[in-house]
Amino acid sequence: MNLIVFSGPPSSGKTSVILKTIEALKQRDISVGVVKFDCLYTDDDVLYEKAGIPVKKGLSGALCPDHFFASNIEEVVQWGNSLKLDMLITESAGLCNRCSPYIKNIKGVCVIDNLSGINTPKKIGPMLKSADIVVITKGDIVSQAEREVFASKVSSVNPKAITMHINGLTGQGAYELSTLLYDEDQNIETVEGMELRFPMPSALCSYCLGETRIGKEYQMGNVRKIDLGD
């Protein structure tokens, strides 16, 4: 089974891109399943179900969705293998843009949209910088100049990635993406022992552990102060 990890900020168009790409894969008789990771809420699983795609969702609740991803990916891979899928896609929304769920030697795709602002490529960390393929969406509603500027900003933070423009509504570009995703020779039976491409941020301050009171005496663990000058 192929494993593909999709990541990207909320509402960037991940689900639309994945749905259109799966349509193209289905035409080549490649069976695909999806596991959607989110934090508090998602109804994207309904969209996948409607399209006849085997889907599972995982809500991380009080945990960071990317940490949740790392602790569940093996089980998810086993689920995909039990269905004898040709390809399993995981989809997760980064929340703070600091984590990335990509795994070494597993294709990682980052979806970002033209509307998110010209400095967004700079703001997104490893999720964008260590992706193999960067998909830029919503190009149909901004000017050609903004598309060009945005793409050049993306390539300055991740020159190695293949950058593609996909229209999530019409599916323009999704067929092309599908040809880059499927690899006949890849057969992932387990991800046990594999490594994340980039360590997740160290956290664990008192607020991670449920503290709600504000004030110096309640701040413990990994605490840092903003530099406001004198």
Interface ranges with other proteins (CB under 8 A): 24, 27, 98, 114-115, 117-118, 121-122, 125-126, 129-130, 134, 139-149, 151-160, 162-163, 165, 167, 170-173, 175-176, 179, 198-199, 201-202
Residue with tokens 């997740």: 200
Which is nearer to other proteins, 95 or 188 (by Cβ)? 95
Which is nearer to other proteins, 27 or 190 (by Cβ)? 27
Q: Considering the complex, what minimum distance in angstroms separates the CB of residue 197 from other proteins? A: 8
133 vs 107: CA distance, rounded Å: 8
User: Which of 181, 178, 193, 198 shows the shortest CA–CA distance to 73?
Assistant: 193
Q: Considering the complex, what minimum distance in angstroms separates the CB of residue 78 from other proteins? A: 30
Which is nearer to other proteins, 145 or 214 (by Cβ)? 145
Which is nearer to other proteins, 78 or 179 (by Cβ)? 179
Beta carbons of 203 and 99 less than 8 angstroms apart = no
Encoded amino acid at 10, one letter: P
Q: Considering the complex, what minimum distance in angstroms separates the CB of residue 192 from other proteins? A: 24
Which is nearer to other proteins, 33 or 173 (by Cβ)? 173
Q: Considering the complex, what minimum distance in angstroms separates the CB of residue 166 from other proteins? A: 10
Q: Considering the complex, what minimum distance in angstroms separates the CB of residue 41 from other proteins? A: 27
User: Which of 70, 64, 6, 12 shows the shortest CA–CA distance to 38?
Assistant: 64
Beta carbons of 7 and 132 less than 8 angstroms apart = no
Q: Considering the complex, what minimum distance in angstroms separates the CB of residue 182 from other proteins? A: 13
The answer for residues whose C-beta is within 8 angstroms of residue 160's C-beta and 6 or more apart is: none
Alpha carbon distances (Å) from 193 to 67, 97, 164, 183, 198: 16, 25, 31, 21, 15
**What number of other Cβ atoms are within 10 A of residue 218's Cβ?**
13
Which is nearer to other proteins, 71 or 143 (by Cβ)? 143
